[in-house]
Amino acid sequence: MRNVAGQVSIVATGAPGHRRGLTASAVCSLTDEPPTLLVCINRNAAAHDLIIAHRAFSVNALAAGQEAIAHVFSGMAGITGEQRFATGTWSVGATGVPVLAAAVCQLECRLDDYKEASSHTVFFGHVVAGTASTEASALIYHRGSYIGLGEPCDENADVEPPRAASGTSGK
Ligand SMILES: Cc1cc2nc3c(=O)[nH]c(=O)nc-3n(C[C@H](O)[C@H](O)[C@H](O)COP(=O)(O)O)c2cc1C
């Protein structure tokens, strides 16, 4: 699993004073129409039951440079619950859930459905509000390290399909 690189997000829910959030890489765009994503959350995570109670959550895709936020919300800094929201600039989104400034995107979801899968629950969220930055680079987690995504590849580089060497038919 360490070899599967993933974009790092903070999944957050709850109202000011009783917010919960966690670092999550198990986030996936599901359908464009209707705009739906899924997130996989451990049943022991503090945000888990609050997502169900609140029936809404935000997915805040972190930008390169926001590693400190990922660290705090992963529990590695020993900070829990509402105190995590002292790291980063958080406000209240249109649906009442916490949203993070300077993220690559903030997507607010209404909880459509959820399904238990061993230790985790897969939450299906209908995206009802959001903002996105066209400037920020994504933060990736790979083999235990945070990596800021670099510049896009040159669109002309390395896109030619490999050609068979002359004189070889492949048969
Ligand atoms: C890069 C990274 C990705 C993670 N992805 C997930 C995830 O997708 N789902 C999940 O339940 N926990 C994930 N975790 C673990 C949670 O962030 C961590 O257990 C957190 O402390 C849970 O919040 P809690 O302490 O409030 O329960 C991830 C941790 C890291 C460092």
Q: Is the CB of 107 under 6 A from ligand 1?
A: no
Q: What is the pLDDT of residues 75-131, one digit of tens each?
A: 999 999 999 999 999 999 999 999 999 999 999 999 999 999 999 999 999 999 999
Could you give the CA distance from residue 128 to residue 26 in angstroms, rounded to a whole number?
20
Beta strand pairing call for 139-142 and 6-7: antiparallel
How much is the pLDDT for 158?
Answer: 60
Q: Contact 107/7 with Cβ under 8 angstroms?
A: no
Could you give the CA distance from residue 11 to residue 27 in angstroms, rounded to a whole number?
9
Q: What is the pLDDT of residues 3-41, one digit of tens each?
A: 999 999 999 999 999 999 999 999 999 999 999 999 999
Handedness of CA 20, 88, 5, 124 (dihedral sign): positive
Q: Is the CB of 40 under 6 A from ligand 1?
A: yes
pTM, entire model:
0.91
Q: Contact 9/125 with Cβ under 8 angstroms?
A: no
How much is the pLDDT for 150?
Answer: 83
Q: Which residues pair with 49 in a beta bridge?
A: none
Could you give the CA distance from residue 100 to residue 129 in angstroms, rounded to a whole number?
13
Structure tokens at 97: 């859930």
Residue 136 CA, ligand 1 centroid: distance in Å: 23
Tell me what the mean pLDDT of segment 145-164 comes to: 73
Q: Is the CB of 13 under 6 A from ligand 1?
A: no
How much is the pLDDT for 170?
Answer: 41
Domains and CATH numbers, the chain: 6-148 (2.30.110.10)
User: Where does the pLDDT of residue 168 fall: very low under 50, low under 70, confident under 90, or very high at 90 and above?
Assistant: very low
> Quick one: which atom of ligand 1 is closest to the CA of 20?
26
For atom 10 of ligand 1, the residue with the nearest CA is 41
How much is the pLDDT for 155?
Answer: 67
- Does 171 have pLDDT greater than 50? no
Site to probe by mutation for ligand 1, drawn from 42, 49, 87 as the one with most ligand atoms within 8 Å of Cβ, is: 42
Could you give the CA distance from residue 93 to residue 46 in angstroms, rounded to a whole number?
20
